[in-house]
Structure 1
Amino acid sequence: MRQADLRQRLLRAAEQEIATSGPAKASLRGIARRVGVSHQATAHHFDDRAGLFTALAVEGFELLLEETVAAIEAVGTEGIASGSQVAASGAAYVAFAMRHPTMFDVMFRPELLHVDDPRLVDVRRLHRELLVQIIATAQAEGWGTAVPTEELATVGWATVHGLAVLQRDAQLVEVMPEIDPGLLQRVARSLDALA
Structure 2
Amino acid sequence: MRQVDLRQRLIRAAEQEIAACGPAKASLRAIARRVGVSHQATAHHFEDRAGLFTALAVEGFELLLSRTRAAVAGVEVGGGRQVTAAGVAYVEFAARQPTMFDVMFRPELLHADDAALCEVRLAHRGLLLDLVGAAQASGWAASVPTEELVTIGWATVHGLAVLQRDAQLTAVPTEADLDPAKLLVVIGRALGALA
Corresponding residue number in structure 1 for 2:37: 37
Q: Is the CA contact (8 Å cut-off) linking 1:167 and 1:178 kept in structure 2?
A: no
State how 1:25-174 maps to structure 2 within 5 Å: 25-75=25-75, 78=76, 80-174=77-171
Gaps of 5+ in 1: none
Could you report, residue by residue, the CA deviation over 1:7-40 in whole angstroms, capped at 9, with x for unpaired residues? 1111111011111111111100000001111101
Following the alignment from structure 1 to structure 2, what is the Cα–Cα distance between the partners of residues 103 and 81?
32
Letter in 2 for 1:100: Q
Matched to 2:123, the amino acid is L
Secondary structure in structure 1 of the residue aligned to 2:92 = helix
Distance 1:159 1:31, change over 3 A: same
Per the TM alignment, residue 55 of structure 1 is displaced from its structure 2 partner at its CA by 0.3
CA distance in 2, matches of 1:177, 1:165: 17
Percent of counterpart pairs with the same letter?
70
Distance 2:18 2:193 in 1: 40
**Structure 2 unaligned regions, length at least 5:** none
Range 41-50 or range 166-175, more displaced: 166-175
> Cα deviations across residues 34-91 of structure 1 (Å, max 9, x unaligned)?
111110111111010000000000000000000000000042xx2x221110100000
Identify if the C-alpha distance between structure 1 residues 58 and 192 changes in structure 2 by more than 3 Å, giving closer, same or farther. Answer: same
| Distance across 1 between alignment mates of 2:25 and 2:134 | 43
Matched letter for residue 62 of structure 1: E
Contact 2:160 2:180 in 1 (8 A): no
CA 1:108–1:32 in 2, change beyond 3 Å: closer, same or farther? Answer: same
Please give the alpha-carbon distance, in whole angstroms, between the structure 2 residues aligned to 1:194 and 1:20: 43
* Distance in 2 between residues matched to 1:25 and 1:61, nearest whole Å: 23
Residue identity in the other structure for 1:165: V
Amino acid at match of 1:91: V
Question: Which shows bigger deviation, 151-160 or 178-187?
Answer: 178-187
Distance 2:74 2:12 in 1: 29
- After TM superposition, give the deviation of residue 178 of structure 1 in Å: 6.5
Given the alignment of the two structures, is residue 18 of structure 1 paired with residue 18 of structure 2, yes or no? yes
How large is the RMSD of aligned CA atoms in angstroms? 1.4
CA distance in 2, matches of 1:38, 1:98: 33
